[in-house]
């Protein structure tokens, strides 16, 4: 069992480098630049990730970390349904940030739910910079 | 040089295949870490699944069995995804149509399964429930489950979270011997 765990981790690392995040992230960030954003910053992204905001229906403060956890390498938990969410870090989960349409779909849903509004191009670029670095 | 690249590619392809199947493998385990035998895998295989439904509708909760609601409920749910229980679950038209077709074809009024029949019998013809957890059959079956084990239990939170107690739910099994309530243990009748 143990050996399989090690093998799996090794294989995931190999798979991870094969399913790189660059194409989707570069494409997204280029389109954010066209919308006027620039100098994407991972530290700023991390700050926003943990920024608490009052969620009207939950009647409590929430952040991106409420479902994805603050440490992107760990498993998250959906704050309303309790479902486990695979780690956000591409280093742990090779499927992350590989599909531009999926990224936009979840930005739209999650920004609206968490912050009550859509995220700006600058904010999305900073988030991607942060997530990609983990 | 050419040869190395060739074998490298082969190795990579093998690794990818293996790691994808190992992901699928770990998915088939329940929360308590135990893996399920061939038997339950085969039991689940009889359940028809649609990939788009599985992908899109299991991101926030597990993919509810189509047979637990009538077709008219699924049509209503699919028509109101932009405000889905306080979340935005909107889809593009192609995915949305495919999922609606799947759900209505496998809905409770089409499915002869034991549980489907019980759910359908408990729903009035004039009602179009949006929640499985608010049907009369559901209420009856869960009458003995104290709300403290659900609402005040951070690991459950809501009756909609079927898979947190029904450990076989992801594979379509609601067998009463597979019920474990988080922090309270196995359910004995």
**pLDDT digits 0-9 by tens, B18-36:** 444 444 443 333 333 333 4
Which pLDDT score is estimated for B150?
87
Beta bridge partners of B29: B35
Q: CA-to-CA distance for A49 and A126, rounded, in angstroms?
A: 10
Record: contact B157-A14, CB cut-off 8 A: no
B160 vs A58: CA distance, rounded Å: 16
B30 touches chain A (CB under 8 A): no
Average pLDDT over residues A90-94: 95
Structure tokens at A82: 């309790």
Say how far apart CA B40 and CA B166 lie, in whole Å.
14
| Cβ of residue B14 closer than 8 Å to a chain A Cβ | no
Number of inter-chain CB pairs under 8 A, A vs B: 55
Cβ–Cβ under 8 Å, residues B168 and B153:
no
- Which residues of chain A have a CB within 8 Å of the CB of B22? 4, 8, 11
Please provide residue B117's backbone torsions phi and psi, each rounded to the nearest 5 degrees: -60, -40
> Do the Cβ atoms of A50 and A70 come closer than 8 Å?
yes
pLDDT at A66 over 90: yes
Given CATH 1.10.760.10, say whether it is the number of domain A4-132: yes
Residue A8 binned pLDDT confidence (cut-offs 50, 70, 90) = low
Residue in A with minimal Cα distance to B155: A82
Residues 43-62 of chain B with CB under 8 A from chain A are: 60-62
**Band of the pLDDT at B8, cuts 50, 70, 90?**
low
Per-residue confidence (pLDDT) for residue B27, from 0 to 100: 39
What is the spatial distance between Cα A115 and Cα A112, in angstroms, rounded to a whole number?
6
What pLDDT does residue B5 have?
Answer: 59
- Across chain A, what does the average pLDDT equal? 89
Rounded to a whole number, what is the distance in Å from the CA of A113 to chain B's nearest CA?
Answer: 7
Output the pLDDT for position B48: 64
Structure confidence by residue, pLDDT tens digits, B102-148? 999 999 998 778 899 999 999 999 999 999 999 999 999 999 998 88
Domain ranges of chain A: 4-132
Smallest Cβ–Cβ distance between B88 and the set A18, A84, A113 belongs to A113
Q: CB–CB of B60 and A80 under 8 A?
A: yes
d(C-alpha A111, C-alpha A118), whole Å: 5
Quote the mean pLDDT of chain B.
79
Q: Among partner residues B12, B86, B163, which is closest to A57 by beta-carbon distance?
A: B86
pLDDT of residue B88: 87
Return the pLDDT at B13: 54
Question: Which chain B residues are Cβ-neighbours of A83 within 8 angstroms?
Answer: 60-62, 161, 163
User: Is a pLDDT exceeding 90 seen at residue A48?
Assistant: yes
Query: For B144-163, how does the pLDDT look when each residue is reduced to its tens digit (9 = 90+)?
Result: 998 888 888 878 888 998 99
In this structure, the number of other CB atoms found within 10 A of the CB of residue A2 comes to 6
Question: Closest to A82 (Cβ–Cβ): which among B16, B86, B157?
Answer: B157
Select the residue of A4, A15, A113 nearest B87 (Cβ to Cβ): A113
What is the model's pTM? 0.82
């Amino acid at each position: 069992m143990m050996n399989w765990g090690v093998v799996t981790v090794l294989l995931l690392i190999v798979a991870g480098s094969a399913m790189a995040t660059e194409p989707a992230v570069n494409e997204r960030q280029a389109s954010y630049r066209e919308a006027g954003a620039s100098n994407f910053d991972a530290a700023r992204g991390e700050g926003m990730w943990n920024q608490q905001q009052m969620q009207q229906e939950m009647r409590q403060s929430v952040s991106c970390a409420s479902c994805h956890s603050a440490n992107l390498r760990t498993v998250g938990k959906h704050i309303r349904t309790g479902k486990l969410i695979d780690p956000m870090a591409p280093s742990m989960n090779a499927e992350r940030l590989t599909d531009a349409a999926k990224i936009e779909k979840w930005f739209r849903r999650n920004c609206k739910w968490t912050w009550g509004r859509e995220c700006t191009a600058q904010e999305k670029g900073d988030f991607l910079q942060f997530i990609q670095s983990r | 040089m050419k040869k190395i690249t060739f074998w490298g590619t082969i190795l990579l392809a093998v690794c990818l295949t293996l790691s994808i199947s190992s992901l699928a493998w770990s998915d088939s385990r329940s929360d308590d870490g135990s893996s399920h035998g061939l038997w339950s895998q085969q039991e689940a295989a009889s359940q028809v699944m649609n990939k788009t439904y599985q992908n899109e509708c299991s991101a926030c909760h597990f993919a509810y069995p189509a047979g637990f609601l009538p077709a008219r409920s699924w049509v209503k749910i699919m028509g109101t995804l932009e405000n889905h229980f306080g979340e935005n679950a909107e889809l593009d038209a192609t995915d949305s149509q495919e999922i609606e077709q799947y759900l209505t074809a496998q809905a409770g009024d089409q499915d002869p399964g034991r549980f489907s029949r019980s759910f359908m019998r408990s729903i009035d013809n004039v009602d179009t429930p949006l929640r499985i957890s608010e049907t009369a059959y559901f209420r009856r079956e869960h009458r003995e489950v104290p709300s403290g084990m659900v609402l005040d239990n951070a690991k459950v939170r809501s009756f909609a979270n079927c898979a947190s107690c029904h450990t076989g739910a992801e594979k379509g099994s609601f067998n009463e011997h597979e019920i474990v309530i988080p922090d309270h243990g196995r359910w004995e009748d």
